[in-house]
């Protein structure tokens, strides 16, 4: 039972990551990649290097 729950959680996380990657690719196509989704401020390249699926700047993370 526990193995089945772990497998389901792993699948859920993979699907979620795939959605984030697809979103980043879409933002690249729309020339919107690298900008905060809330305030439209340019994202720090260091953050994008760590996680290219990032959609918010540091200031908007808590909103």
In a domain, 22, yes or no: yes
Residue 55 lies in a domain: no
8-state DSSP, 56: S
How does pLDDT run along the chain (63 residues), one tens digit per residue? 889 999 999 999 999 999 999 999 999 999 999 999 999 999 999 999 999 999 999 999 987
Residue 61: inside a domain, yes or no? no
* DSSP summary character for residue 3: H
The stretches of 2-44 forming alpha helices (DSSP H) are 2-29
Which residues are CB-contacts of 27 (< 8 A; sequence separation ≥ 6)? 33, 34, 55
Report the number of distinct structural domains present in the chain: 1
Which residues are CB-contacts of 21 (< 8 A; sequence separation ≥ 6)? 53
- Structural domain for 21, as ranges: 2-50
8 Å CB contact between 55 and 37: yes
pTM, two decimal places: 0.82
Residue 56 located in a structural domain: no
């Amino acid at each position: 039972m526990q193995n089945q729950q772990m497998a389901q959680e792993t699948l859920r996380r993979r699907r979620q990551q795939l959605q984030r990657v697809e979103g980043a690719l879409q933002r690249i196509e729309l020339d919107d990649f690298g900008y905060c989704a809330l305030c439209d401020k340019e994202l720090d390249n260091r953050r994008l290097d760590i996680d290219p699926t990032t959609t918010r700047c540091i200031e908007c993370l808590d909103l």
